[in-house]
Amino acid sequence: MVNVGINGYGTIGKRVADAVSLQPDMKVMGIVKAHPDYMAFVASKKFKIFISDSKSKKLFEDAGIKVEGTMENLVDDSEIIVDATPDDVGKLNKPFYETHKKKAIFQGGEDHDLTNLSFNSYANFKDAWGASYVRVVSCNTTGLIRTIFPLTELGKVRVRANLVRRATDPNDHKKGPINSIEPDLKIPSHHGPDVRSVIKDLDIQTMAVKVPSTLMHVHFVNVTFDKEVSRDDIIENWRRYRRLMFVSGKDEVKSTSQLMEIARETGRMRSDLYEIVLWKEAISLKGSELFYYQGIHQESDVVPENIDAIRSMMQLKEKEDSINETDKSLRIGELAYGR
C-alpha cells in the first residue's frame, strides 16, 4: 500500500485523489489546500486536510474545517506526492520534495526540464520505473500521444495537428473568450514540442486556437505515413487501446456536448470522460495521409496517467497490469460502443 499525498485540489488534484482512493495498492494520506473555501469543505468530507501555510490554520478552523497539519507533515506521511498545484508552482515545490527525499509527480503546466522525464502510460511507462520525479503531460498532449503512439507502431509518421481548445474549464466564471476565436500566435504551439518530450524525434507541428466553449478540446489531426497502411489496420490497432473510444455521427454523437451527455449517463464521478474520442466515419485515409478528429475531456484524461505514473515510479506493477488495474477502477472502456 503506497501512501500518496496530493498537493493541490483543483481540476486535476481532486480527480487524482478520488482515483487513488479507488486503487487496491495505494492510499490518499491527505490533500493540501491553500484556502478554506467551499471546495476545501467538500474535500474535508473525504480526505485529511493539510495546509500550505501554517498561518492560515485559524482561518480553516473558523470555517469548520479540521486541519491535520501542514504540507510538510503530509510530505513526511507520504511516499510519493502528486503535485497538482497551478502552472509553474510545482517548480517551486520541487526543492521541498527533494529536501524531504520524497518522489513527486508534476503536471503538464510545468516544463519538461523540471523532471527531464515526461510520461504517458502507453508510450513510455517503463521510463518512469523507479524514477523520483516525473511530469505527466497536459490534457492536449496526452490526447495527441494516445492516438499518435499507436500509429508509430505501424510506420514512421509525420504529424500536423491543429487544436481547437476550449476557452476554460466549466467551473471558471472569469476567463474568456466569449464569442471570439483566438489564435495562438506562436507557431508551433507548445503542444508539438511537448509530444516530443515523450515520443522523441517525432516530426510534429501544431497550431492552436481558443474558442468559446468549456466542455472539451477538439483536434484536427493529419498524419502522413512513410509507407502504405490500410484504414482497417489503423482502426484495428487503435482498438487495442482501451483509452480510445469510437463514436459516430450516425448514433447522434456529433459534438462535444453530446459526448459530455454520454459521460453523464455513465454515472461516473463528475461525469468524466477519460477516453480520447475518435469519430469513426471521419477517420479518412487518402493515399498515405490519414485525417481524423479527436475529442479530449481536458479535466479528466490525465487522471489514469497519474495513477500509472505512481505505479511505475513505485515499481508496483508492470505496464499492462497497471493500465488494466487503473482502467478497471475508473471503468474505462465500458463505454466502448460498436468496437
Which residues would be at the binding site for its own copies (CB under 8 A)? 160, 162, 164, 166, 177, 179-183, 185-188, 205, 207, 209, 211-218, 220, 222, 249, 254-258, 279, 281-282, 284, 286, 289, 291, 293, 295
Compute the half-sphere exposure of residue 300: CA atoms within 13 Å on the CB side of its CA. 24
Look up residue 273 and give its three cell numbers: 470522460
Of 159 and 303, the one with the shorter C-beta distance to its own copies is: 159
- Is 157 labeled as catalytic in the residue annotation? no
Of 180 and 266, the one with the shorter C-beta distance to its own copies is: 180
Taking CA 296 as the corner, what is the angle to CA 112 and CA 245, rounded to the nearest 5 degrees? 120
* H/E segment holding residue 325: helix 319-330
Please provide residue 209's backbone torsions phi and psi, each rounded to the nearest 5 degrees: -125, 155
CB of 68 to its own copies, least distance (A): 39
Give the whole-angstrom CA distance, residue 144 versus residue 119. 13
CB of 117 to its own copies, least distance (A): 27
Residue among 37, 28, 16 at smallest CA distance from 272: 16
Of 113 and 289, the one with the shorter C-beta distance to its own copies is: 289
Please provide residue 231's backbone torsions phi and psi, each rounded to the nearest 5 degrees: -60, -40
Of the candidates 32, 139, 215, 244, the residue annotated as catalytic is: 139
Of 86 and 249, the one with the shorter C-beta distance to its own copies is: 249
CB of 4 to its own copies, least distance (A): 34
Kind of pairing between the strands at 244-247 and 103-106: unpaired
CB of 253 to its own copies, least distance (A): 10
Catalytic residues: 139
